[in-house]
């Protein structure tokens, strides 16, 4: 049974886009009908393959944004000059098809049964797998306290902004803090800058509470944040990281 499950995750399957949802001017969520999808844990990703009429194919990995079970969702931010992301973020329409396989990954995941408080630190589109954790927490009626520190260049680049505002209001125990690196809303209490030690001290959890820390985003953000957490006393084994390129 275990071997069959592994082979199932490694098998390419056709999926159909059943919905699209704009998140920002450059990021879009795709809702996928993945047929007999085996389910996934929040934080896992899938491989996506596109094949052209002449037989050329290319594949990329994307974090899964949705809590399982249910439709599979991915959120894609268009990368200038990219081969795949601009097509997914701008051109795909309901009814289009491509192939996926997965879920993939077992390290960067949150499990509902873990009672430890959680710190989520996201840079840009690194919010996607962390949003899956937030959604899964809500779906399971978990009371585990979550704190999200979300670093973006400007307010216009906040993915899931409306949903996060709603969840802060309705999901007891979820706190969200925005950090802006280039431009902040007028009157914002923190001047725009990269993440600083005080940001995590003020908006995270002290190491004495033994929190789980999930850090996701561009390599520079992830390395800086993980270093700050370690410097504050969080054990390396409690800091889980995932990078989205440079």
For residue range 163-210, what is the model confidence (pLDDT) as tens digits? 999 999 999 999 999 999 999 999 999 999 999 999 999 999 999 999
Count of domains forming the chain: 2
- Residue 227 domain-assigned (yes or no): yes
Domain co-membership, 129 together with 215: yes
For the entire predicted model, the pTM comes to 0.94
- Residue 60 domain-assigned (yes or no): yes
Domain co-membership, 27 together with 144: no
Domain co-membership, 192 together with 98: no
- Give me the domain span that covers residue 222: 118-243
Domain co-membership, 100 together with 134: no
Of the residues 79, 104, 129, the one at which a domain ends: 104
Domain co-membership, 17 together with 69: yes
Of the residues 55, 81, 104, the one at which a domain ends: 104
Residues contacting residue 33 through CB under 8 Å, at least 6 positions apart = 15, 16, 17, 18, 71
Domain co-membership, 233 together with 138: yes
Of the residues 54, 70, 104, the one at which a domain ends: 104
Domain co-membership, 93 together with 146: no
- Residue 112 domain-assigned (yes or no): no
- Residue 143 domain-assigned (yes or no): yes
- Residue 223 domain-assigned (yes or no): yes
- Residue 221 domain-assigned (yes or no): yes
Domain co-membership, 82 together with 143: no
Q: Are strands 72-77 and 27-33 parallel, antiparallel or unpaired?
A: antiparallel
pLDDT over threshold 50, residue 93: yes
- Residue 109 domain-assigned (yes or no): no
Domain co-membership, 168 together with 239: yes
Write out pLDDT tens, residues 108-154: 999 999 999 999 999 999 999 999 999 999 999 999 999 999 999 99
pLDDT band of 8, cuts 50, 70, 90: low
Strand partners, 179: 151
Name which of 241, 238, 242 is nearest 114 in CA terms: 238
CATH of the domain at 76: 2.40.30.10
Per-residue pLDDT at 59: 95
Domain co-membership, 43 together with 125: no
- Residue 111 domain-assigned (yes or no): no
CATH of the domain at 206: 3.40.50.80
Cis, peptide link before residue 96, omega less than 30° from 0: no
Measure the CA–CA gap between 50 and 57, rounded to whole angstroms.
5
DSSP string computed for the chain? -HHHHHHHHTS-EEEEEEEEEE-SSSEEEEEEE-SS-----TT-EEEEEEE-TTS-EEEEEEEB-SPSSSSEEEEEE--TT-SSHHIIIII--TT-EEEEEEEE-SSS---TT--S-EEEEEEGGGHHHHHHHHHHHHHTT----EEEEEEESSGGG-TTHHHHHHHHHHSTTEEEEEEESS---TT-SS-S-S--HHHHHHHS--GGG--EEEEEESHHHHHHHHHHHHHTT--GGGEEEEE---
Measure the CA–CA gap between 212 and 235, rounded to whole angstroms.
10
Domain co-membership, 167 together with 74: no
Tokens at 1, concatenated: 């049974």
Name which of 13, 46, 52, 26 is nearest 158 in CA terms: 26
Cα R_g (the chain), whole angstroms: 18
Domain co-membership, 137 together with 64: no
- How large is the average pLDDT for residues 35-50? 95
Name which of 48, 52, 38 is nearest 6 in CA terms: 38
């Amino acid at each position: 049974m275990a071997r069959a499950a592994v082979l199932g995750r490694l098998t390419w399957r056709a999926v159909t886009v059943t919905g699209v949802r704009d998140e920002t001017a450059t990021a879009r969520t795709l809702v996928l009908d993945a047929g007999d999808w085996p389910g996934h844990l929040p934080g896992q990703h899938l491989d996506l393959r596109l094949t052209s009429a002449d037989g050329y194919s290319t594949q990329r990995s994307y974090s899964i944004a949705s809590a399982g079970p249910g439709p599979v969702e991915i959120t894609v931010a268009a990368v200038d000059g990219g081969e795949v992301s601009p097509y997914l973020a701008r051109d795909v329409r309901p009814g289009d098809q491509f192939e996926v396989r997965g879920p993939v990954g077992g390290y960067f995941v949150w499990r509902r049964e873990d009672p430890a408080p959680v710190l989520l630190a996201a840079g840009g589109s690194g919010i996607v797998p962390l949003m899956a954790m937030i959604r899964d927490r809500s779906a399971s009626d978990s009371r585990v306290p979550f704190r999200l520190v979300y670093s973006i260049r400007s307010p216009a680049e906040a993915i899931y902004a409306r949903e996060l505002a709603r969840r802060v209001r309705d999901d007891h125990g979820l706190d969200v803090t925005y950090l802006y690196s280039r431009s902040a809303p007028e009157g914002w209490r923190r001047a725009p800058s990269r993440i600083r030690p005080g940001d995590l001290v003020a908006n995270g959890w002290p190491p004495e509470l033994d929190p789980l820390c999930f850090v996701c985003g561009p390599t520079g953000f992830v390395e800086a944040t993980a270093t700050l957490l370690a410097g504050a006393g969080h054990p390396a084994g409690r800091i889980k990281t995932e990078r989205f390129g440079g």
